[in-house]
Chain A
Amino acid sequence: MTSFNRRDFLKASSAVGALTLAGCATTPRKPIARVVVIGGGFGGATAAKYIRLWAPQIEVVLVERNPAFVSCPLSNLVLGGTKTIEQLTTGYDALGSRYGVKVVRDVAVAVDPDKRQVRLARGDALDYDRLIVSPGIDFLYDQIPGLATEEAQSRVLHAWKAGLQTVALRKQLEAIPDGGVYALHIPKAPYRCPPGPYERAAQVAFYFKQHKPRSKVLVLDSNEDIVSKKGLFTKAWAERYPGIVEYHPNSELIDVDARTLTAKLVGGDVRADVLNVVPPQRAGDIAKQAGLITANDRWCGVDWLTTESLAVKGIHVLGDATLSAPGMPKSGFMANNQAKLAADAVIALITGRPVNPHPIIANTCYSFVSDTDVVHVASVHKYDPEKKTLVAVEGAGGLSSAANELEGRYAQTWARNIWADALQ
């Protein structure tokens, strides 16, 4: 990995300043603008890095509450037992040391778009010229009364934000007796990571098959059918984990009894030894506070040419928090790509050059159906000036023909590369 080197940059600037880089030699000392980024996930970290990479004359401040980044992609392998959470963790140091991003460990609690200011839980307020909000998701626990208390939430985990919850769910699975039942409840789409729940079912089944072969994985899906890679998951479950995975569509959740680990569904009650409920979701809290939510009280509408909010000027929104364009999944890959679109647009808007009228972004979601074998879904998205949104290109994208080991190796490599692309 090469890195931005200020000495090289200054050398380059002085050598060709007259040709193309007039004035740049002085700009690192005096920024032309400040961009504040809220949230250091796949979207926010990538946006922060790329703005500095492409326009070091712009100051970038990244506000992140966690001490390190923990990847949701590959976190189901922690449940399967073939990865540790440490292997999915990357620090924020390189964003500062290599790219000059100012990383502030704090929580953004309010945005004042008139004053162009972000208020923090602990530190001084931050002024911005442009703000990028990449807050991920928060959960709509108000729709599940039985999960209102912290105690209930600690018994019935989501593990839909990788980290402590992932490790805790793995411990619950380790404690399950052979012959026990793991039940996973899936909310109605859209939710973060469409194939994620089905991959999780395969990973828990992978663990059960080796260590607790009489145990069951019950997939309780609010949706009427498997939301992503249906044929590939159905085949993987049937061929690799027969008698372990059971799929139940139209399993809308009414409530949860956290004490007895019971999911109360429209079709009746299901009791489990480990109950894992992925609650319905909306854009993260700060997006709600800042008035960025425009759709169904849940998601933030943006102009996909720039990712600027449809509700508040000067604020861009990225990743899972956005009202996805048609055919666009809520994925880390997508957030990483949206971040580059946003970085380019933010630089254009600050420096006064035209915004790219023809952005192209792409997505590949890999899912592990065992410790080694993987299936993917891919898509390419181009801006359609008539529809004024990004649309999936017809004839492009698609699925794996079957689960295979080669894509397993690519998925591992993809993960290392995208973590580095966002954070190193």
Chain B
Amino acid sequence: MYRLPRSLGSTLLAGALLAGGTANAADDPQVRAWAATCAACHGTDGHSVGGMPPIAGEPHDRLYQRLLAFKNGTRPATVMHQHAKGYTDEELERLATYFSRQRP
């Protein structure tokens, strides 16, 4: 049993309808739990209380490319490069999907 408490009905409907070959990120407790680790700095579900770069509701491709750039060392960072290196590309992609589907 899972639930996305903050989602409105329309988001859930859209998510359910969009779910194609891969599981909807919002429906997947595994990626939800992974994403929750990001919240310690970026706020619950990516809703920062201020000062951190926003990630909730950012476009998927922008988030994914940024995470890959951190991982590959092509985007300068203080700490994100060290975190991104801990994840496979697929894990980063699923995290990007999760945050892109949060309300901005």
**A361:B49 contact, CB within 8 angstroms:** no
Interface set, chain A 349-390, CB cutoff 8 A to B: 351, 353, 356, 358-362, 364, 376, 378-380, 382
Interface of A with B (CB < 8 Å)? Answer: 1-2, 4-5, 8-9, 11-12, 14-16, 19-21, 24, 50, 53-57, 333, 336-337, 340-341, 344, 347-348, 351, 353, 356, 358-362, 364, 376, 378-380, 382, 393, 395-398, 400, 404, 406-407, 409-410, 412-414, 416-418, 420-421, 424
**B12:A344 contact, CB within 8 angstroms:** no
CA distance A55 to B32 in the complex (A): 13
Enumerate chain A residues within 8 angstroms of B27, measured Cβ to Cβ: 20
Q: Which residue of A lies closest to B13 (CB)?
A: A16
Q: Which residue of B lies closest to A401 (CB)?
A: B78
**B83:A396 contact, CB within 8 angstroms:** yes
CA distance A165 to B90 in the complex (A): 47
Contacts A12-B8, A409-B51 given: A20-B16 contact, CB under 8 Å?
Answer: yes
CA distance A340 to B78 in the complex (A): 25
Whether B20 sits at the interface, judged by CB under 8 Å, is: no
CB distance from B81 to the nearest CB of A (A): 8
**A1:B12 contact, CB within 8 angstroms:** no
**B3:A56 contact, CB within 8 angstroms:** yes
B21-55 interface code vs A (CB 8 A; 1 in, 0 out): 00000010110111011011111100111111000
Contacts A337-B40, A364-B79 given: A1-B47 contact, CB under 8 Å?
Answer: yes
CA distance A382 to B10 in the complex (A): 34
Known: A55-B2, A376-B78, A396-B83. 7 other contacts (CB 8 A): A2-B103, A16-B16, A19-B12, A362-B40, A376-B79, A416-B51, A417-B43
Enumerate chain B residues within 8 angstroms of A5, measured Cβ to Cβ: 5-6
Across chains A and B, which 8 residue pairs bring their CB atoms closest together, nearest first? A380-B86, A413-B51, A15-B9, A396-B86, A340-B36, A396-B85, A344-B33, A393-B86
Bin chain B's interface residue count.
35 or more
CB distance from B84 to the nearest CB of A (A): 8
Enumerate chain A residues within 8 angstroms of B44, measured Cβ to Cβ: 1, 53, 420-421
**B29:A20 contact, CB within 8 angstroms:** no
**B86:A362 contact, CB within 8 angstroms:** yes
**B29:A348 contact, CB within 8 angstroms:** yes
Whether B91 sits at the interface, judged by CB under 8 Å, is: yes
Contacts A15-B12, A340-B33 given: A414-B5 contact, CB under 8 Å?
Answer: no
Contacts A364-B79, A410-B78, A420-B49 given: A12-B12 contact, CB under 8 Å?
Answer: yes
| 18 examples of A-B residue contacts, CB within 8 angstroms | A2-B6, A21-B3, A53-B44, A54-B29, A55-B2, A333-B40, A344-B32, A353-B2, A360-B37, A362-B86, A378-B79, A378-B82, A380-B85, A396-B87, A410-B79, A416-B51, A421-B40, A421-B43
Whether B65 sits at the interface, judged by CB under 8 Å, is: no
**A382:B78 contact, CB within 8 angstroms:** no
**A416:B49 contact, CB within 8 angstroms:** yes
CB distance from A158 to the nearest CB of B (A): 26
**A413:B16 contact, CB within 8 angstroms:** no
CB distance from A344 to the nearest CB of B (A): 4
CA distance A414 to B79 in the complex (A): 12
CB distance from A271 to the nearest CB of B (A): 41
**A2:B47 contact, CB within 8 angstroms:** yes
Residue from B8, B48, B86 within 8 A of A11 (CB atoms): B8
Contacts A4-B5, A57-B1, A413-B50 given: A20-B91 contact, CB under 8 Å?
Answer: no
Whether B7 sits at the interface, judged by CB under 8 Å, is: yes
Enumerate chain A residues within 8 angstroms of B49, measured Cβ to Cβ: 1, 416-417, 420, 424
**B83:A380 contact, CB within 8 angstroms:** yes
CA distance A396 to B10 in the complex (A): 38
Enumerate chain B residues within 8 angstroms of A398, measured Cβ to Cβ: 82
B57-83 interface code vs A (CB 8 A; 1 in, 0 out): 000000000000000000000110011
**B78:A356 contact, CB within 8 angstroms:** no
**A54:B2 contact, CB within 8 angstroms:** yes
CB distance from A22 to the nearest CB of B (A): 10
Contacts A16-B16, A20-B27 given: A417-B86 contact, CB under 8 Å?
Answer: no
CA distance A353 to B91 in the complex (A): 21
Q: Which residue of A lies closest to B26 (CB)?
A: A20
CB distance from B54 to the nearest CB of A (A): 12
CB distance from B90 to the nearest CB of A (A): 11
CA distance A376 to B47 in the complex (A): 23
**A393:B51 contact, CB within 8 angstroms:** no
**B13:A353 contact, CB within 8 angstroms:** no
**B86:A421 contact, CB within 8 angstroms:** no
